[in-house]
Amino acid sequence: MLKLQPIEFILRTLPEGFLVIFAIYIFSRTNMNKIKYLITSTAFSLIVYFTRMLPINYGVHMILSVLILLFIIIYYNKIEVVAGIKSIILIYLIQLISELLNVLILNIFKFNLDVLLIDPVYKTILGIPSLIITGIIVLMFYMLSKKKKRAV
C-alpha cells in the first residue's frame, strides 16, 4: 500500500493533478473548458489519492490511475482517444525526466534519500523541484503553441 498523507495530497498530488490535466489540454491541442478543467483536475487528484490506498502492488496504482485518467479525458473532456493517449504518455515521460533530474540534483548535494523519504513532509518538499521542472517544461510547450497559433 502506498498511502499518501494529507500533506502529500495538498502539496504534491493536487498541484500535479492540475498540471497533468493542463498538459493534456496543451498536448492534445484541445481548447480548455475552465469548469471541466477544475472538475477533472480535482477528480484526478482524488482518484490518485484513493487508488494509492488500495492494497495493491507498486506500479498497479499508476496503471489504474492512467486508465481512469484516459477514461475521464475521453468521455468527460471530449478529447480524442489517440490525442489523449499521446498526451498522457508525453506528460508521464516529462514527469519521469523531471524526477530523474531531481534525484540527480539531490544526489549531487549528498542528501541521504533513504532517511529523508520516510518522512512525508521531507518527501513532499524534496519532490517539489521535479514538479516545478515539469511545470516549466509544460509552460514552454504552452508558449510555443500560443506562438504557433499567432503565426497562423
Cell reading at 43: 477528480
Within a domain: residue 1?
no
- The answer to the question of residue 152 being in a domain is no
pTM of the model: 0.91
Q: What is the pLDDT along the chain (152 residues), one digit of tens a residue?
A: 567 788 889 999 999 999 999 999 999 999 999 999 999 999 999 999 999 888 888 789 889 999 999 999 999 999 999 999 999 999 999 999 999 999 898 889 887 877 777 888 888 888 899 999 999 999 999 999 888 777 65
Domain count, the chain: 1
Residue 83 lies in a domain: yes
Does some domain include residue 10? Answer: yes
- Which grid cell sits at 91? 506528460
Distance (Å, whole) CA 109 – CA 5: 26
Please give the residue range of the domain that contains residue 129: 6-147
Residue 88 inside a domain? The answer is yes
pLDDT at 2: 65
User: At how many degrees (to 10) do helices 120-151 and 14-27 cross?
Assistant: 20
Tell me if 22 is assigned to some domain: yes
Q: Is 81 part of any domain? A: yes
